[in-house]
Amino acid sequence: MEQTLYEKIGGEEGISKVVDYFYSKLVLKDPTVQQFFENTDMEEQKRHQTKFISFALGGPNQYSGNSMAKAHEGMNLKPAHFNAIMKHLHTALAHFGVNEADIDSALSKVASLKDDIVYK
């Protein structure tokens, strides 16, 4: 039986490392998107994002947050913001040795949510 992306990345522990790197080394240092996290409890954000990404990549459904549209409501995110996040997620996954085919698969899942995130 083929492993899910969740399993290939190392389960919740592996995804947690990717998410931590994603925020601390990339997103929070990028002037394109860092302002969206100025008043955010980043430890809570990382826990929440780890559960969401775990579920999106085939792990258990522990995600109990708002819908993507509701979570991004009023933020007026533009395509440039979404693209920056996608680029950072790619970089974070690659940093932890995820191969390009699996990165593409993961990014496809995230890209499918674009309409629920941009201009909300």
What is the CATH superfamily name and number for domain 5-117?
Globins (1.10.490.10)
Binding site members for heme: 48, 72
CA distance 95 to 7: 17
Enter the pTM of the model.
Answer: 0.89
The structural domains of the chain, with segments of one domain joined by +, span 5-117
Q: Encode pLDDT of 69-112 as tens digits.
A: 888 888 889 999 999 999 999 999 999 999 999 999 889 988 99
Binding site members: 48, 72
Q: Encode pLDDT of 53-76 as tens digits.
A: 888 788 887 767 677 788 888 888
Farthest CA pair distance, the chain: 43
Joined tokens for residue 43: 């430890």
Q: Encode pLDDT of 10-24 as tens digits.
A: 999 999 999 999 999
